[in-house]
Structure 1
Amino acid sequence: MQNLDEIDRRILRTLQEDGRIQNVELAEKVGLSPSPCLRRVRLLEEAGVIERYVALLNASKIGVGLTVFVRVWLKSQDAKTVDKFTAEIQRIPEIVECHLMAGDSDFLLRVVSADLDAYRRFQAEHLTRIDSVQSVKTEIPMQKVKQTSRLPL
């Protein structure tokens, strides 16, 4: 479903702002009556355009206020090594994003932690103990300038 019309886009923009909005209010905001609005939302869900609904948490208030970015180099780039690494990464909750990279490093991770000491322990006890990891380099952001989950529509 790649042919989104303007009403679909308005629905998606509104849901990105507030995923808990009631259908009646959503319909009013996008200029539809409730029944056709709900039908469109269901079609967007069924087509996979809307993957799921989530709550965005304040990381500092739940004790994981430090975010670091970690570049990872593997010992080898063959499929077995990459698959093993990605399977390990799936099991580690502190790693909230993992991207296979083209370029210098093999993977880029976004890791959350309570503080720098907790991250250092995490790196030593978990990340560098993954068999396929050759080396890691941690980048520590100085200031969060922008973070959003909204996609441009």
Structure 2
Amino acid sequence: MLDDLDRRILRHMQADPTLSSPDMADRLGLTVSRLSRRLDKLSETGVLRGQRAVINWQALGYAVEVSLRVTLDKTQTRAFDDFIIAARDIAEVIEIQTFLGRVDVRLSVIARDMAHYQQIYRTRILTLPHIADIEALMLVSRVKSDESLPL
């Protein structure tokens, strides 16, 4: 269970992920060693899964994002497993989600332009196993994209 200090630490990490441990400890009124012990505890309990760089793929020339809703042929016992294993191998697939309902899987696919997307779609996506139906949704704008939690 998180206490108030844990929540304060997490709020500071979300607000400024580049904050050094000494600076964060100073802002929280802690010693660096006490902050370090708390961070270790948050990692050990699975609250913190690590730190990562968030790369703006548009700045690297990827201008197109498409969300693919995929329905699998569930008469095949390994449909989910085979599909996901193969989809993970497509570098331009940046997210894979599974669902209960009419849609089984959602893929987020990025491409440099529409010609690049069509090439990925025809040569990589349509060759994925066990697809019964697929629907493409072209991203127009991202209204909200926030990984911060209300702590």
1:1-153 map, 5 Å: 3-76=1-74, 78-153=76-151
For the residue of structure 2 that corresponds to 1:145, the secondary structure is: coil
Q: Which moved more, 1:38-47 or 1:8-17?
A: 8-17
Runs of 4+ in 1 over 6 A off after TM superposition: none
CA drift of 1:77 comes to: 5.6
**Hey, what's the Cα distance between the residues in 1 that align with 2:40 and 2:118?**
45
Deviates more, 1:81-90 or 1:18-27: 18-27
**What is the one-letter code of the residue matched to 2:69?**
R
- RMSD (CA atoms): 1.6
Q: Which runs of 5+ in 1 are unaligned?
A: none
SS of aligned partner of 1:129 = coil
Which SS does the other structure have where 2:78 is aligned? helix
Q: How many residues are aligned here?
A: 151
Q: 1:146 deviation in Å?
A: 1.2
1:149 deviates by: 2.3
* 1:78 to partner: Cα distance: 4.8
SS at 2:52 equivalent: coil
Mapped partners of 1:29, 1:139: distance in 2:
44
**Structure 2 residues without counterparts, runs of 5 or longer:** none
Q: What percentage of aligned pairs have identical amino acids?
A: 28
Tell me if structure 2 keeps the 8 A contact 1:98–1:108: yes
| SS of corresponding position for 1:123 | helix
Deviations 1:75-127 (A, max 9, x none): 22654111111111221221111111122211111111112221121111101
CA 1:4–1:78 in 2, change beyond 3 Å: closer, same or farther?
A: farther
Once the two structures are superposed, residues 35-87 of structure 1 have per-residue CA deviations (whole angstroms, 9 ceiling, x without a partner) of 11111011111222111111111111112232221101112265411111111
What is the CA distance between 1:131 and its match in structure 2?
Answer: 2.2
